[in-house]
Amino acid sequence: MRRRLTENPLRPAEATAAGRENGNGMERHGLTPAVFLDRDGTIIEDRGHLRSPADVVFYPDTAPALARLQKHFRLFVVTHQPGIAGGVVSADEVARVNAHVVARLRGHGVVITEVYCCPHRRDERCGCIKPNPFFLREAARAFGVDLAQSFVVGDHPHDVALAANAGAAGIYVLTGHGLKHRAEMRGCKAIVPGIREAADWVLACRAMRMREAAQPGLLDRAAALLRGGGLVAFPTETVYGLGAAVFDEKAVARVFEAKRRPRFDPLIAHVSGPGQLPLLAETVPPAAEDLIGRFWPGPLTLVLPRSAAVPDLVTAGLGTVAVRMPRHPVALELIERAGAPVAAPSANVFGHTSPTTAGHVIEQLGGAVDMVLDGGPCAVGVESTIVSFACAPPALLRPGGLPVEEIEAAVGPLDKARPPDAGAVAAPGMLPRHYATRTPLRLVARRAALRPAAGARTGALVYRRAPDAGGFAAVEILSADGDLREAAANLFGAMRRLDGMGLDGILAETVPDAGLGRAINDRLGRSAADRA
Ligand code: TXA
Ligand code: MG
C-alpha cells in the first residue's frame, strides 16, 4: 500500500492586482477577509478604564504583527467599554484613547479600518455587546467583509464566542485576562501566548485554506494516509514532523527507516488536545497539568508515565512517553482528522539539521514519505523544550522553543543536570553530536576568534552583525535586531544555506545564553561536537 504521493508544496495563488492595491491578497467576489481585534489585553495592555492617551501601553509585538496581517486582511478593533455606561469614563475620553491607538498604529504603517465600541453594561441587554455579532455584521455590510474568511482575536472567552456567532474563527490570546479564563476555553485549539503568535496562526490558517482551495480534500487525504499506515510530513510551529499513527507499529517502524534513526531513540506523540492524554499517559502529575494549561498548544513536550497501549517502538521500551500539542492549525487539524495521536520526530535524516520548510523535508526525505503538507516556514524554528515528569523535581531534557525561564516561573526550578536514565539514551536529541551540517562547523564564544582560516573558504554564522574580520566566503546574520525569536526561526535555514555552499568550514558564534538563546547555543554546540 505504499502510495508514493509526494505532493509538492503548492505556491499560494498570487494576489490579484486589485487585492494587492487594497492590501488584500484574498478577495473573493469582491469580499474581503478581516481580522477583528479586541483592544485591552490583546493589542494594548489591560490597565482598567483608560481615560487618556497617556495611559495606553502597546504590547511590543502588536505593530509588527498587525503589519503582517494587513497584507492580507482588513483590520478592525472591536472593544467593550462598559465604563462609559457606568460613568467611570466618558465617551469622549474613550474616543480619544481609541483615536490615539489608531494614530500610533498608523505611525507604524498599520491601518485600522474602524474601531467599534460597545459602551453598555451587560445588564442593559443591548444588541452590540460581545458576543453578539452586531459590529461584525456591520463591518460585513459597510466594507464587504467576508466573515467566513475572517478571524477574531481576543483575551476573553466572549471574543472567541463572538467569532463563532459570526461564522468567523476565534483566536484566544493569553495576554490580558487570557490566563485567568483559560479553564473556560477547554476544547478551543486556537490558544496562543499573544498577538505575535495570533498573527502566525491566522496566516497559517490562510495558507492552509488557499492550499485546500487549490487541492480540495488535501487534508482529508493526508489524514486517510495516516489512518492507512502511511507517513505524512507536516508543519508544526517548531520544525516539520514526520508523522505516523501512534498505535500503528508498522507505520512507526517506517518512520525509523525513513529517517535512518536508531530504534533506541524514542518519538514524541503529538495530540490535538489534552483530551487525548489518557490514550497515552498513565497519569498526569499536577505540575504537568499546570504547564499544559499555560503552554499548550506550544513548543513544550512532556515526558510522562506511559500507558501500556503505546507501542514499545514509540517509547523505545522506556516506561515513559513524550507528548506534545503543537501550536499549528495544520498539525492540529491533521491529528484531529486522523482520529488518533501522531508519532513524529523531526522530518530530517537522523543526526542532521531539522527542517523548517516543506522544501527542506523534500530535499532530505522526499522519496521516503507518502505526502508532505506545506504549512509555510515554521514560526519558532527550533524544536520543543522537553521536560520529564518521571522524576522529582521535573527535569529539563532538552532546551527548546519555550524558554526554560518561563517554565520555572510556573512550576519552580527544574533539574537541569542531564538525568541518569536507564537506557543508552537518557534523553532526547541529547546525543552529543546532532543537528549536524556536512561542512565542519566550529563554535566560537568570542568575536575576536571569528576569522576565516588562511587559504580556506569559510562561512560565518553570526548573531547580530557581520564579523569584524573580512575574508569570509559567506555570512549569515541570524537577527540584525538582536531578537532571539527571529534568530531561532532563522537558525536551521541559515545552517542549511551555508552547508549547501561547498565551503571548507563554518565558524558560528554563540548567542546570549538566556531564553531561546539556550536552545540556539545547544543546537550549535551539538552541530559542532567532536570537531572543536
Ligand atoms: O519540536 C519538536 O519537538 C519536534 C516537532 C516535530 O514536534 N519534534 C522533535 O522530535 O524534535 P525528535 O524526535 O527529533 O526529538 C524528540 C526527542 C528525541 O531526541 C527523544 O530522545 C526524546 O524526544 N524523547 C522521546 N520520548 C522520550 C522519553 N520517553 N523519554 C525521554 N526522551 C524522550
Ligand atoms: Mg480584552
pLDDT tens digits for 492-508? 999 999 999 999 999 99
Task: State the cell numbers at 156.
Answer: 476573553
pLDDT at 24 > cutoff 90: no
d(CA 147, CA 133): 10
Q: How far is the CA of 153 from the centre of ligand 2 (A)?
A: 9
User: Which atom in ligand 1 lies closest to the alpha carbon of residue 240?
Assistant: 6
| Distance, CA of 204 to CA of 248 (rounded, Å) | 29
With the most atoms of ligand 1 within 8 angstroms of its CB, the residue from 383, 433, 492 to mutate is 383
Distance CA 285, CA 265 (A): 24
Residue 15 clears pLDDT 50, i.e. is over it? no
Q: Is the same domain home to 196 and 233?
A: no
In a domain, 362, yes or no: yes
Alpha carbon separation from 191 to 152, 179, 506 (Å, rounded): 12, 10, 39
Output the CA–CA distances (angstroms, integers) from residue 504 to 28, 442, 450, in the order listed. 51, 11, 15
Residues 524, 365, 479: CA angle, nearest 5 degrees: 35
- pLDDT at residue 32, rounded to an integer: 96
Domain final residue, candidates 211, 239, 264: 211
**pLDDT number for residue 430:** 57
User: Do strands 474-477 and 300-305 pair parallel, antiparallel, or not at all (unpaired)?
Assistant: unpaired
The atom number, within ligand 1, closest to the CA of 344 reads 6
Domain of residue 521, CATH code: 3.40.50.11030
Q: Where are the alpha helices (DSSP H) in 448-504?
A: 484-499
Q: With respect to residue 324, please indicate whether it lies within any of the assigned structural domains.
A: yes
Reported as a single tens digit per residue, the pLDDT across 399-452 is 999 999 999 999 999 999 865 443 334 444 555 666 788 999 999 989 999 999
**The pLDDT value given to residue 405:** 98
Q: Ligand 1: which residues within 6 Å by Cβ?
A: 236, 238-239, 241, 265-268, 299, 301, 303, 315, 318, 320-322, 324, 326, 344-346, 383-384, 386, 397, 425, 427-429
DSSP 274-289: GGGHHHHBS---HHHH
Residues 138 and 237 occupy one common structural domain:
no
Q: Are residues 25 and 42 in the same domain?
A: yes
Look up the domain containing 493 and give its range: 441-528
If asked whether residues 356 and 469 sit together in one domain, one would say no
Q: What is the mean pLDDT of the chain?
A: 91
Nearest Cα residue to atom 12 of ligand 1 = 345
CA 303 to ligand 1 center in whole angstroms: 9
DSSP track, 14-65: PPPHHHHHTT-TT-BTTBB-EEEE-SBTTTB---SS--SGGG--B-TTHHHH
Q: Is residue 425 part of a domain?
A: no
The answer to whether residue 417 is domain-embedded is no
**Statement to judge: residues 239 and 330 lie in one domain:** yes
Q: Are 224 and 363 members of one domain?
A: yes
Residue 517 belongs to a domain: yes
Say if residue 297 is in the same domain as residue 172: no
Quick one: cell of 434?
546532532
306/327 same-domain check:
yes
Secondary-structure breakdown of the chain: helix, strand, coil percentages, each rounded to the nearest 5 = 35, 20, 45
Ligand nearest to the CA of 297: 1
Nearest CA owner, ligand 1 atom 33: 428
Count of domains for the chain: 3
Q: Which of 259, 296, 301 to mutate to test the pocket of ligand 1 (most atoms within 8 A of CB)?
A: 301
Tens of pLDDT, residue by residue over 92-113, are 999 999 999 999 999 999 999 9
Please name the residues in contact with 10: beta carbons below 8 A apart, sequence gap of 6 or more: 211, 214, 215, 374
In the block, cell 493526508 appears at: 222
What are the tens digits of pLDDT across the range 199-257? 999 999 999 999 999 999 999 999 999 999 999 999 999 999 999 999 999 999 999 99
What average pLDDT does the segment 521-529 reach?
Answer: 91
The neighbouring-strand residues paired with 506 are: 441, 459
Residue 477 has pLDDT above 80, yes or no: yes
Separation between Cα atoms, residue 488 and residue 479, nearest integer Å: 9
